[in-house]
Amino acid sequence: MDEYDPQKNVALMLDEWGTWWDTEPGTNPGHLYQQNTLRDAFVASLSFDIFHKYTDRLKMANIAQIVNVLQSMILTSGKNMVLTPTYYVFKMYNVHQDATYIPLELNCDMMDVRDNRRIPMVSATASKDPNGKIHISMSNVDADNAQEVTINLSGTKAKKAVGEILTSTNLTDYNSFENPDNVKPVPFKEVKINKDILKIKLPAKSIVTIELQ
């Protein structure tokens, strides 16, 4: 699109992104009802990082779908409702909405995947909101090992950082009607700032959003 529309007069819309797994046993296959795990949360966070990078062109992206279908944010059963790990990623990333994208240069360990490809262990995105607050979201896709992250904060005047983390014991963990809070964000304190250098230790299979103060 940049080749034929360098002025970016035409926007790109991405419809119905998300995971599509086998339906839950005992449910109507045509209703596409599937459970939502921590792994799905990573699909959301990694997708958001990509979407955020290209917001100069990408103006809309719709998950498929919001309630009870495919990678849902909410699951219901009668009068009961449960929030999925994907819902919490949406909540953690909403600080980037209506904010100014901040480009990141990220150097980290790499992971070997299929077809002789390699992907970074850590994905991240950052923004500055209308009040001047800077938020950074990071995902450690390493299922077994923590990752050390160092960020140069020169020019930000940040003295401390607060945040929250979404993780669990297993990538297959999910929230059920019997245990609705099994996978949900909790405060994250493994952040240190010293002389404009921010250091973070991201636990294995974790998604973190921090606010610089």
pLDDT under 50 in the chain at which residues? Answer: none
What is the per-residue pLDDT across 4-29, written as a single tens digit (0 to 9) for each?
999 999 999 999 999 999 998 988 88
Sequence ranges of the domains in the chain = 12-212
What is the per-residue pLDDT across 87-106, written as a single tens digit (0 to 9) for each?
999 999 999 999 999 988 77
The predicted structure's pLDDT at residue 155:
77
CATH superfamily ID and name for 12-212: Golgi alpha-mannosidase II (2.60.40.1180)
The predicted structure's pLDDT at residue 109:
86
The predicted structure's pLDDT at residue 193:
87
The predicted structure's pLDDT at residue 139:
97
SS (H, E, C) the chain: CCCCCCCCCCCEEEEEECCCCCCCCCCCHHHCCCCCEHHHHHHHHHHHHHHHHCCCCEEEEEECCCECCCCCCEEEECCEEEECHHHHHHHHHHHHCCCEEECCCCCCCEEEECCCEEEECEEEEEEECCCCCEEEEEEECCCCCCEEEEEECCCCCCCCEEEEEECCCCCCCECCCCCCCCCCCEEECCEEEECCEEEEEECCCEEEEEEEC
The predicted structure's pLDDT at residue 34:
94
